[in-house]
Structure 1
Amino acid sequence: MSAKECGHHGKGRNKFRRRLLYGILFFILIVLITILLIWAILRPSKPRFILQDTTVYGFNASVPNFLTSSFQVTVSSRNPNDRIGIYYDRLDLYATYRNQQITPRTSLPPTYQGHKDVNVWSPFINGNMIPISPDFSTSLSSEQASGSVFSYH
């Protein structure tokens, strides 16, 4: 004798799968609503960085295609958020001239910035015998000769 299928045996398994799918979708919906509410309440904004001052202590091009420079910069950061503080784990500064990096990175110490707070840093940025491209060296020499760029010795 052969067994006949009555059609009721697979419904329990399909019902479980459907409930599991609804449960997962409900959980994802709750997580998305929570994220949306947190964003709507806190309204996080990016901090604003401003280069306030730069003092050039040295800016010398030497042969063959090396640049030595020394700067002190004053940089401020403003946190515009009303309810959120920002922890800066790592901040690096470096100087560029005509889109070429002319100093190695200078790290600022890790710091916390409270809400609506302003932090100010005044690090020294130094580059000693930084290799530069020959075209860069030529344009720098012509700018120094014309008085566009000052050279400190």
Structure 2
Amino acid sequence: MSVKECGHHHCDDKRPVPWVIAAVVGFIILILFVIFLIWLILRPSKPHFILQDATLLAFNLSSSPATTSAIEPPSLTPSTITITMQVTLLARNPNDRIGIYYQKLDVFASYRNQQISLGTMLPATYQGHKDVAVWSPFLYGTAVPVSPYVCQSLTQDQNAGGMLVNVKVNGRVKWKVGSWVSGKYHLFVNCPAFIRLAGDGIGATGPAIKYQIMQSCSVDV
């Protein structure tokens, strides 16, 4: 077996030169430091949402009686919910140096994780530093089919004197720093609202009832 001799010439070394490794590591550390410095200066925070009040204009649970025939077995038309309510949502931008663009925000009501109203779109809004935005959308749901579990829960809530309705917001936001505007980020807001039910509150349309709630909402961006 022959042995390669380099003589007075140096053999080619395939290993990375130490100063190249040091330069790459230094560049990565510099990038991380810049990112950390930007975060330290801007201190970005997600917006704060508060559900101020909810006005219940109509809330009705209805189900058709069972129908029978000589040929077909008894059947029951699914129960439905009809709801009309107006809510007041307040959004605050807690950032000192970051503006927020709200885009394609849909608000809807949910009960027991089931949507019971159509989505109401909020107008596109820009929120400057420390600014506050207020929306008062109407939420409508007409004869929305619900599961038997929801009907049972509603009956239990009526006996208890109140129900928990979640007002949810689903949409997109952009961040603005100086003249720079970020890409779109998904925004999801969940606001619990406890609605008191007096007497036969489920099943009839009565006078509008306004509930002062002032409930903080959970926000995911």
Give the TM bin, normalised by the shorter chain: 0.7 to 0.9
Instruction: Structure 1: give runs of 5+ residues left out of the alignment.
Output: none
Per the TM alignment, residue 15 of structure 1 is displaced from its structure 2 partner at its CA by 4.6
Letter aligned with residue 21 of structure 2: L
Letter in 2 for 1:133: S
Please state if 1:103 is matched with 2:117.
Answer: yes
Distance change >3 Å, CA 5–CA 97, structure 1 → 2 = same
Q: Report which of the two has the higher share of helix.
A: 1
Matched letter for residue 56 of structure 1:
L
1:131 aligned residue: 145
Equivalent-residue separation in structure 2 for 1:146 and 1:34 (angstroms): 56
Q: Which amino acid aligns with 2:6?
A: E
Which whole-Å CA distance do the structure 2 matches of 1:61 and 1:36 have between them? Answer: 54
Q: CA deviation at 1:35?
A: 0.5
Identity of aligned residues (%): 48
Task: Report the counterpart of residue 6 of structure 2 in structure 1.
Answer: 5
- 4+ residue segments displaced more than 6 Å: none
Partner of residue 80 from structure 1, selected from 94, 99, 105 = 94
- After superposition, the CA RMSD in angstroms is 2.5
**Rounded Cα–Cα distance in structure 1 between residues aligned with 2:28 and 2:4:** 43
Aligned equivalent of 2:46: 46
| Structure 1 residues 20 and 127, CA gap change in structure 2 (3 angstroms) | farther
Is residue 121 of structure 1 aligned with residue 122 of structure 2? Answer: no
- TM-score for both structures, normalised by structure 1: 0.83
Find the counterpart in structure 2 of residue 21 from structure 1: 21
- The one-character-per-residue Cα deviations of 1:57-96 (angstroms, maximum 9, x if unpaired) are 1111111311111111110001111111111223222112
| Length-normalised TM-score, structure 2 | 0.60
SS in 2 for 1:90: strand
**Count of residues in Structure 1 that have an aligned counterpart in Structure 2:** 151
The DSSP-based 3-state class of the residue aligned with 1:109 is: coil
Query: What's 1:30 paired with?
Result: 30
C-alpha distance in 2 between matches for 1:90 and 1:119? 15
Q: Residues 124 and 5 of structure 1: is their aligned pair in 2 closer, same or farther, counting only changes over 3 Å?
A: same
Which consecutive residues of structure 2, in runs of 5 or more, have no partner in the other structure? 64-77, 163-196, 206-221
